[in-house]
Amino acid sequence: MSPAAQEATAGQTRQGPLAGRLVVDLSRALAGPHATMMMGDLGARVIKIENPGTGDDTRGWGPPFVGPKDDPQATYFLSCNRNKESMALDLKSEDGQSVLRQLLERADVVVENFRPGVLERLGFSTDAMHRINPRLVILSITGFGHDGPESHRSGYDQILQGEAGLMSLTGSGPDDPQRVGVPIADLLSGMYGAYGVVAALLEREQTGRGQVVRTSLLASLVGVHAFQGTKVTVAGESPEAQGNHHPSIAPYGLFRCRNGSVQISVGSEKLWAAFTSAFGIDPAAEGLGTNADRVRNRARVLEVVEAAFATYDPEPLLAKLAEAGVPAGKVRTLKEVYEWPQLASQGLLVDVQHPLLGSVTLPGPPLRFFDQADGTESTRRSHTAPPLLDQHGEGVREWLATTEVG
């Protein structure tokens, strides 16, 4: 086997519950690539198909860029493409379509986030892909859904944060709509998509057939409306942004103290009793006796709590809250988060060797797995860097030429 083929097949033997599964990633930007990165983290072999010359859109999303000036690497791309192989294919060409068919014949999963109708025009409708491989699980992610009156619209994260109501819940108040600081619609649709794929693979064990899994940025955000959604559908109310305080629990949020602020979560009457005892507050004072009272009298709660905190700096205050058993925390910068020992202890930092950048530390996968028999960790431990464009193309072609379907 040539060095290129060895490199292209290196990911097949790594640990994880999806080890041995082949994922063909036709997606770009963030939603689909996040889903396939999750599958790669779980041990699947992920072959990322990219446009020749330019590759995934996110290769050009910056700054910041790092690495050599003649071949800068976007840190955006690095965030969502670890544990993948890259192959450049022109899917409009005869060669590109032939190679894709060969990959689909061998694949367990294909992921795409084209606008509705694009794959059909290329000759790869869901029916056509299932004729090629009836066991194939197809994950399709769109912006507004695959059907309905607005299915034709292009879906971008911030647009959907607004359209799906998330921005109306985020900000200092009703007149200050704000986007979430990460592309949460993309990330959630990728997570829901990966979850759907795993469920479809499990069902395939019973039926022997693959199926189509569909989700959208719109669906993913509606799926996490939680109690704000039932506030509309059941109570008939329209929620509004309330800044850094919980709409249904008080005190729960960000409170000022001397030289800073802390966050607290007083989520039960037992915690309220412990909190008020620690800080000399009358727990049954007018307007404070129950959680419902405190929510209705939020301004009074804010005044009472911040008066109690006024003589404390953040660290002594956090220590006192911990001693009282009240959940609390600070607001860290991302730099502080990545320097936090707790992060490394949870496997949330991984070191990889990048062909151009050398040793690079990436945010790690959020799941860990442990063997039932002896408790040893079976999480995938060896990770590969996000690939260069077409880094594995030659090796994948050689692998296709020397392997049988099935």
DSSP E strand stretches across 196-251: 212-216
Name the phi and psi angles at 116, rounded to 5: -50, 130
The pairing of strands 22-25 and 45-50 is parallel
What is the C-alpha separation between 396 and 394, in angstroms, rounded?
6
Question: Rounded CA gap, 108 and 136, in Å?
Answer: 5
Nearest by Cα to 211 from 116, 129, 142: 129
293 catalytically annotated = no
Question: What DSSP designation does 28 have?
Answer: -
Query: What's the start-to-end Cα distance of the chain, in Å?
Result: 20
Q: Give how far Cα 243 sits from Cα of 170, 181, 254, Å.
A: 7, 14, 9
The number of angstroms, rounded, from the C-alpha of 4 to the middle of its chain's C-alpha atoms is 31
CA triplet 197, 199, 201: central angle to 5 degrees?
A: 70
Quote the CA–CA distance of 345 and 303 in Å, as a whole number: 38
Among candidate residues 377, 376, 379, the one with its CA nearest the CA of residue 364: 379
Pick the catalytic residue: 186, 293, 351, 371?
186
Residues with a known catalytic role: 186
